[in-house]
Amino acid sequence: MERSGKSLTLWHATVRAEVWLFAAIAAAGLLGFMSTLSPGDVRGEASGDELVASLLAQEKLEELMRQPLTPRTVAGALTGLEPGFSGTFRITPVDGGARPRQARIAVSIRWGLDGDPPRAVTLETMRGE
């Protein structure tokens, strides 16, 4: 089947328009996605202290997940952290009663207390029995 020169040119123009339309939609989607990321995500890096704080918070959160639930809120300071870091925890029963079956556990780790602007990482989870 042979195409005429006019229909072939029209077909090429249509294909080019579709390619440009796809490129424009893809670029708009990529820009929209990039706008949802924080500057640290865009750079693909986290500060060393932020990484250490996140790991400490995760470690302490896992330790607290193994604690028995109590009918009242338990909060306090975390011990055994790296120098330059401090932290707190809070375990809050979600359902009332003498023997709670669910609790919200939160761990906050702070750093930058010695001259740098203070920063913090907070991890929170739910635990059920």
Cβ neighbours of 56 (radius 10 Å): 21
Q: What is the assigned CATH class of domain 46-128?
A: alpha beta
Q: For the chain, give every domain's residue range.
A: 5-41, 46-128
User: Tell me: the pLDDT tens digits for 66-122?
Assistant: 988 888 899 999 988 888 899 999 999 988 767 778 899 999 999 887 777 888 999
DSSP string, 68-109: PP-SS-EEEE--SPPTTEEEEEEEEESS-SSS-SEEEEEEEE
d(CA 93, CA 69) in angstroms, rounded, equals 8
Q: Give this prediction's pTM.
A: 0.60
